[in-house]
Chain A
């Protein structure tokens, strides 16, 4: 019965109000990174829900296990790698039992029995017992001086041994073994590595890279015995290990033997409790044990869909999902993770991810420079990157990992792929895309003025693991995002290889786990009863949003998705639009606004200019500026003056404030230009008349040039049109902003009407499929230009349908400056309230 009730309590219906009365009791067994991250997430989501008790077998509060290797190597201290000091537990009211192992759990009485005899009752139990190191069952394994490499105690034993003894043997040439060997060598020991397989790190590197790694480490002074089996450990009279004996009879002197042959999920307690375990404690996508729904498990002790994970990124993803479940949100699902690896040996760069071995059905691109110490291998299957193995030059690891997780088609960048992201046009950071080479004082984030040193410091001192963490704490890459790749690189190098990568499916915002795509689909699809979602609150309710009024990120997005999906039907919510689209002017840093009237195709006349001049005088507008889009910008207008400024101008809204069609820039064209082949000004005006009032996921800028000299800069516009003798060439998805991108050729057409139809169809496709705040360049990069060609060029019926849908959407759209009532403008905002 209790079990049934507990199922109800964690079911999908979110409880709007927390129940009054005594809090629920949550007990966590294990005090490691995955478990404590889960607790942190719970405290963030539902701080009042639980009385929390934590049992840790080690005598230390939660520390960063990934950084044990730098501690061993003498690069960091134990204190520096503590993630949650004891004071953190106190501040959050968590009862902490350190050095106190849980020996049994009574599931019937819901009691946790600890080694010190205490009994702790629970309502929910979270198992985060981590893993055991595997100890080879060879004779002599219990001798003194034979240890694993797992925790602070092992690390301290190794540091201590290094100060007294000469010879160390590390058994296991994997990630952990090599880090241990490197650390012991740096502490002055002579270190031999015994590895069963023929090459090092065979699970992370192919044979070439493994061989290069071995040479590099040999040059530093390590000795290797590969393809070697350990037969026995030999001791001296005092019972301490003195040598390692290999199967071929070789004896290697050893005062210290470190076994690093792998880990195995610690399921001892779970098995004694009768929970179903395979290689780990078996959990569902909600991280509940399949045996007992009151009991959750996260971390290395878990087996999820048959996989156990040992790297921090997937474990944090588990923790996040588990927390939403324990916080009774009931929406998160863990669906498995992609992992990448990087060795934390200073001066040796290697990176691998995915299926880097490849096979018959895959293709490989390889760059090999053994003398220069660089080797890169990319594995491609079905036009997608599926694996990467980098040695010597890993700066593009994060980028490759991103391509791999997003499963992006790489056909269009294949010829550049091997040379890295910096070769694929990013003017903003050209020449400084190599995070490692940057000095601490170098600026990484130009928007928020964040230096590399500040990011590194925050990562180390505040224990940051994810891009999101770094954004929150330093603001780096939190604005325009063009330095995201750079910040990911820094994160990778500073936090260690297995930093938590951005999840493949990005949630729209913190209010939901659904991504943009899923939300758009839900809005498009009628409900079971045939009704449709037509308002922001209806969407929030139907999709079980965590916060009933959303946040400043999702409200504008949802409002746009509604309006673009159901034009003339969806209910526009001005309070869900950014201030610029609510006031129909651009807010400036001092709270005044700027006004840009529309000038069709950038053409104006004496009467308009006279009215503009009169308005400038009448309202004492301090600055008048010509924009890059061939418009006149009036800056410093008081909000209360806006309606009268619009009326006095008598010109249409320029929508310079909106995620909408901004401008169509034109050259003078054949009417005046001695080189002009087409009337670009008229073409631009026709486009602007057809497309103005078109709201879009982001701003949209067009240009029309009358000849290939391209004076209107059509090559860097969302839609760029270039007149040639026989007609018009249409280019799409160019960008002159953060990331300069040259527009891609879409089609060549003969008439003005066809320019309108093709350009309009592409923009409608973008309106229907683009994610909010995604420019055309990013939209096309995401879906691929092939898709656009298919929908707009190949399929003429579809093109005409798209074009008709766009015309339907903009046809009755009012001009907010001159029809405010119909546009739903709240005019009260312009009337000052004074007291």
Chain B
């Protein structure tokens, strides 16, 4: 059995308010087989911060802004294990579900809505407004939301 016909969608508590106001704009990125298992692809969009799309061992996908909250390292280049990724620059461990660093490190990178439809991986562009935290390319990213897993 494959999971490609399943529809998975990451939660969006951070952008819950936006989610209510904006209609999702799903944009095809690639087929899931184009992302290595326990790996990631970096998705570029002119004028916006790049997005890292991760694939776990059991073919779930997650998407985060491709910048570690520590020093802005490209998370898409890190080692993926379980539902976490280790930043390639200084080995911070970032949760794929919440974008937050494992304690005692703290800080979160914004999540991006992602889903799979019959194996096609899609990102929601509605939440990439220029000027939002996601589009601000200055480094590093400050922790913007309190979540379990992000220590105070």
- Chain A residues near B (Cβ < 8 Å): 472-473, 479, 547-552, 555-556, 574-576, 578-579, 582-583, 587, 589-591, 826, 828-829, 832-835
Contacts and interface: CB of A to CB of B under 8 A. Distances in A.
A801 B112 CA distance: 55
Contact of A575 (B29, B37, B90): B37
A549 B89 contact: no
Given A576-B79, A579-B77, A835-B27, A587 B45 contact: no
B71 A589 contact: yes
Contacts of B38: 549, 575-576
Nearest to B38: A575
B19 interface: no
Nearest to A471: B104
Nearest to B122: A835
A479 B89 CA distance: 12
Contact of B81 (A551, A574, A833): A551
A375 B84 CA distance: 51
Contacts of B57: 548-549
B74 A575 contact: no
Contacts of A547: 81-82
Given A547-B81, A555-B79, A555-B81, A834 B43 contact: yes
Nearest to B34: A828
B86 A552 contact: yes
B23 to A, nearest CB: 18
26 contacts: A479-B90, A548-B82, A549-B38, A549-B56, A549-B80, A549-B81, A549-B82, A551-B93, A552-B81, A555-B81, A574-B36, A575-B36, A575-B39, A576-B79, A579-B77, A579-B79, A579-B88, A589-B73, A591-B77, A829-B41, A832-B42, A833-B30, A833-B34, A834-B44, A834-B45, A835-B44
Nearest to A554: B81
Contacts of B91: 552
B44 A473 contact: no
A586 to B, nearest CB: 11
User: Quick one: which of B72, B77, B82 has the most chain A CB within 10 A?
Assistant: B77
B74 A578 contact: no
A833 B88 contact: no
B78 interface: yes
Contacts of B74: 587, 591
B104 A473 contact: yes
A550 B82 CA distance: 7
B123 interface: yes
A552 B79 contact: yes
Nearest to B57: A549
Nearest to B53: A833
B39 A833 contact: no
Nearest to A547: B82
A469 B35 CA distance: 36
Contacts of B46: 834
Contacts of A578: 79, 88
B79 A835 contact: no
A574 B77 CA distance: 12
Given A552-B78, A579-B78, A828-B34, A587 B42 contact: no
B42 A551 contact: no
Contacts of B56: 549
A591 B73 contact: yes
Contact of A589 (B30, B42, B81, B89): B89
A459 to B, nearest CB: 14
A539 to B, nearest CB: 14
B45 to A, nearest CB: 5
B79 A587 contact: no
Nearest to B41: A833
A552 B42 CA distance: 19
Contact of B86 (A551, A826, A834, A835): A551
A575 B43 contact: no
A531 B57 CA distance: 24
User: Quick one: which of A549, A556, A574, A583 has the most chain B CB within 10 A?
Assistant: A549
Given A552-B93, A575-B80, A834-B45, 11 more contacts: A549-B56, A555-B81, A574-B36, A579-B78, A583-B77, A587-B77, A590-B72, A826-B36, A828-B41, A835-B27, A835-B125
A574 B38 CA distance: 10
A575 B39 CA distance: 6
Contacts of A591: 72-74, 77
Nearest to A593: B77
Contacts of A556: 79
A835 B53 CA distance: 13
Contacts of B89: 587, 589
A713 B37 CA distance: 44
A472 B104 contact: yes
A737 B72 CA distance: 27
Nearest to A587: B88
A473 B104 CA distance: 6
Interface string B44-63: 11100000000011000000
Interface string B89-103: 111010000000000
A547 B37 CA distance: 16
Nearest to B93: A552
A555 B37 CA distance: 14
A835 B123 contact: yes
A578 B89 CA distance: 10
**Across chains A and B, which 4 residue pairs bring their CB atoms closest together, nearest first?**
A552-B86, A579-B77, A552-B79, A579-B88
B103 to A, nearest CB: 8
A582 B36 CA distance: 12
Nearest to B67: A591
A832 B30 CA distance: 11
Contact of B43 (A582, A589, A833): A833
A412 B103 CA distance: 42
A578 B57 CA distance: 17
Nearest to B139: A590
Contacts of B104: 472-473
A433 to B, nearest CB: 26
B54 to A, nearest CB: 11
A551 B78 CA distance: 11
A76 B88 CA distance: 42
Contacts of B39: 575, 826
Contacts of A551: 81-82, 84, 86, 93
User: Quick one: which of B73, B79, B125 has the most chain A CB within 10 A?
Assistant: B79
A366 to B, nearest CB: 43
Contacts of B80: 549, 575
A826 B39 CA distance: 11
Contacts of A829: 41
A555 B86 CA distance: 12
A834 B81 CA distance: 25
Contacts of B90: 479
B82 to A, nearest CB: 5
B44 A832 contact: yes
User: Quick one: which of B37, B38, B43, B91 has the most chain A CB within 10 A?
Assistant: B38
A270 B73 CA distance: 54
A816 B82 CA distance: 28
A550 B81 contact: yes
A39 to B, nearest CB: 17
B102 to A, nearest CB: 10
Contacts of B82: 547-549, 551
A830 B57 CA distance: 22
A832 B29 CA distance: 11
Interface in B80-135: 80-82, 84, 86, 88-91, 93, 104, 123, 125
A145 B86 CA distance: 59
A670 B71 CA distance: 49
User: Quick one: which of B45, B46, B74 has the most chain A CB within 10 A?
Assistant: B74
A52 to B, nearest CB: 19
A76 B41 CA distance: 53
Nearest to B56: A549
Contacts of B77: 579, 582-583, 587, 591
A556 B81 CA distance: 12
Nearest to A472: B104
Contacts of A479: 90
